Structure 1
Amino acid sequence: MLRSREPGVTIGQIARDFGVHLMTLEKGLWLAGVEHGVKPGQTRSADCVVRMLSLVREL
């Protein structure tokens, strides 16, 4: 819905329509982009592995 919005409709308007804060919607979009390989960053599964390895290292 967000990517196929009509011209002139802002992300802020869509956030209000869904009842979420603008930054919450933007973060969700960014995370989705990372997970789909569209944006640079560490995926959730890679992040979990890094955290697990750091916990194991502490033992």
Structure 2
Amino acid sequence: MLPVKNAAGTGTEYIVELSFKTDDYADAARLHSDAIAVADGHGWLYHGDILKTQLILDRY
């Protein structure tokens, strides 16, 4: 979890990156799908691309 100033500079946004390490592609694909479903179901998923380095440079 990476806390980053929000665009207005008045609060904090959190960027979370997930990684799954498994020996089986099918297991990794299932874990990926499950994680996407949970995050999207809670409204946590951002449907777009974020370049973390650029976001940090822009905010600070």
> Could you tell me the TM-score, scaled by structure 1's length?
0.34
Higher share of residues assigned helix: 1
Higher Cα Rg, which structure: 1
Higher share of residues assigned strand: 2
> Could you tell me the TM-score, scaled by structure 2's length?
0.33
